[in-house]
Amino acid sequence: MTHLDAPAGHSATAPAALGEPTRRVGAGWITAFATAWFGIWMAQLTPVQLLLPAQVDERLHPENWVDSVVAFGAISGVAALATIIAYPLTGALSDRTTSRFGRRRPWILIGALVFAVSLVLLGFQSEMWAIGAAWVAASVGFCIMTAALTATISDQVPVNQRGFVSGWMSAPQAVGIIVGLLLVTELVTDRVTGYALLAAILVVLAVPFLFRHDEPLTATERTRVSAKHIIAGFWISPRKHPDFGWTLLSRVMVSIGNALGTSLLLYFLMFQLDDEHAEDDLIILTLIYMVFVILASLGLGRLSDRLGRRKAFVFLASGLQGVAALLLAIVPDLSVAMVAAGLLGLGYGCFLSVDQALATQVLPDAATRGQDLGIMNIASAVPQAIAPLIGAAAVLMTGSFVLVFVLSAVFAFGGALAVARVRSVR
């Protein structure tokens, strides 16, 4: 048995809901899974890339554009704090849910509704505190929904199919960004309608997966639920589980690097390059990024399954993102940004699919998959939220975006070094 065949937490005598899956999921399951993620990424990343920074800038009308960047970063930072709590908490609750509809589906539905309602409310806000509060609520809904959805990979997908299936979690991210941007810039004419449209699409696209089977957890299989147990579960000792620790660290660093390279892109085009067509060029860059994310996440995810290797792919993916960031730091030009977008998409697409498969293979316990993946998901979501704050501080100190992209490269290369320390998975 290879390392790829024997992930952490496996038990030959584990009950059905907790056992290691061996039956391959079919095209219908994968289609519903990908469709749900398409709606999620559209609803999450369109506000981050365009609607939210534009809403903040419209509210402030600052004399110094740096003030707008800092305000956006502060809102993202507060959302990050909420994410740290919401991800493992809701993951732990889904692990212990004994509903006849399964452990994950009720939480996917709850998360979708919280996320959607918060987006609708966000569109109506004009005060900074209210904008921040609504975005925090939307981020919590995002966490509830995705904590449960990612846990279904460990619950239902066999190890030798996880790279490919995880690709269908990441590929919709790129498509979701570009479709979302096109919808809110070409189809609708105001912010309120834009947020409402994203909310409606999110809920509608989640519905097909809610009809997929989710093995219920029996009362006898349910572990004890208490605040003490849940809080204790937030900490997974890197000394006892070093591979989980190194994978977590790698994901944190690469995710921060990627978010630094993408989350302030609109501001980079507007203020660093003095681009009169910043919104249109943002869509072009995102389209380039999208193509390479899709190709890498699906193609390299499947190749990783076939070769039975994860670490080499994650190492390469991290390095490509570092190179892309250095290009933007050294040559801040629109044409160079297009090349960097392609490299960043290639690296991040590979990372998203293969690293997710790697993460499922280093989980400490099958009974706490949702909680442990919730902790791992923090390593993706929190960087997306705090990176604008880090980037804003870098811009504030230097008055340019060069340091932002240098830091992006440093974090990406650091992530490559961290994943090289994983031992139990090739």
- Please give the pLDDT value at position 229: 57
Which phi and psi angles does 111 have, rounded to 5°?
-60, -40
- Residue 208 and residue 36 in contact, taking contact as beta carbons nearer than 8 Å: yes
First-to-final CA distance of the chain:
13
Residue found by looking up tokens 């090349």 in the block: 339
- Best CA proximity match to 294, nearest among 55, 34, 16, 24: 34
DSSP 19: S
Please state, in angstroms and rounded to a whole number, the distance separating the CA atoms of residues 162 and 153. Answer: 7
The DSSP output letter for 184 is I
DSSP structural state of residue 364: S
Supply angle C-alpha 118, 166, 82, rounded to 5.
30
Q: What separation in angstroms does the CA of 260 have from each of 1, 267, 324?
A: 40, 12, 12
Question: Residue 397: which residues within 8 A CB-CB, separation 6 or more?
Answer: 403
> For residue 324, what are its two tokens?
């892309």
Q: Indicate yes or no: pTM above 0.85.
A: no
Please report which helix (H) or strand (E) contains residue 132, including its range: helix 128-156
Where would I find the H helices in 263-368? 265-267, 278-307, 311-330, 334-360
143 and 94 Cβ atoms separated by less than 8 Å: no
Query: How many whole angstroms separate alpha carbon 418 and alpha carbon 53?
Result: 32
Residue 68 in tokens: 């707008």
Residue 13 is inside which H or E element, if any?
none
123 SS3 class: helix
At 326 the pLDDT is: 94
The burial class, CB within 10 Å (0-12 / 13-18 / 19+), for 158 is middle
Q: Tell which residue, 60, 83, 82, has the closest CA to residue 71.
A: 60
Dihedral, CA of residue 229, residue 232, residue 238 and residue 244, to nearest 10: 50
**What are 384-404's pLDDT values in tens digits?**
767 877 888 898 888 889 999
pLDDT digits (tens, 9 = 90+) for 193-237: 999 999 999 999 999 999 998 888 766 555 555 555 555 555 566
Q: Residue 242 has which token pair?
A: 């070093």
Find out whether 324 and 340 touch, Cβ atoms under 8 Å: yes
Amino acid identity, position 382: V
CB atoms within 10 A of CB 237: 10
Amino acid at 342: G
Q: Please give the full DSSP string across 218-229, using - where no structure is assigned.
A: PTTTPPP--HHH
In order along its 426 residues, the chain shows pLDDT tens digits of 334 443 444 433 344 555 677 789 999 999 999 999 999 999 999 998 889 988 998 888 777 777 888 888 889 888 888 888 888 888 888 887 888 888 899 999 999 999 999 999 999 999 999 999 999 999 999 999 998 998 898 888 888 898 888 888 878 887 888 899 889 988 887 899 999 999 999 999 999 999 998 888 766 555 555 555 555 555 566 778 888 888 988 988 998 998 888 878 888 998 889 888 888 898 899 889 888 988 888 888 889 888 888 888 988 999 999 999 999 999 989 999 999 999 998 998 888 788 878 887 887 776 676 667 767 777 777 777 678 778 888 988 888 899 999 999 999 999 889 988 888 877
CA 89 to chain centre: 17
d(CA 168, CA 365): 25
Contact by Cβ (8 Å): 392, 53: no
Q: How far apart are CA 309 and CA 226, in angstroms?
A: 38
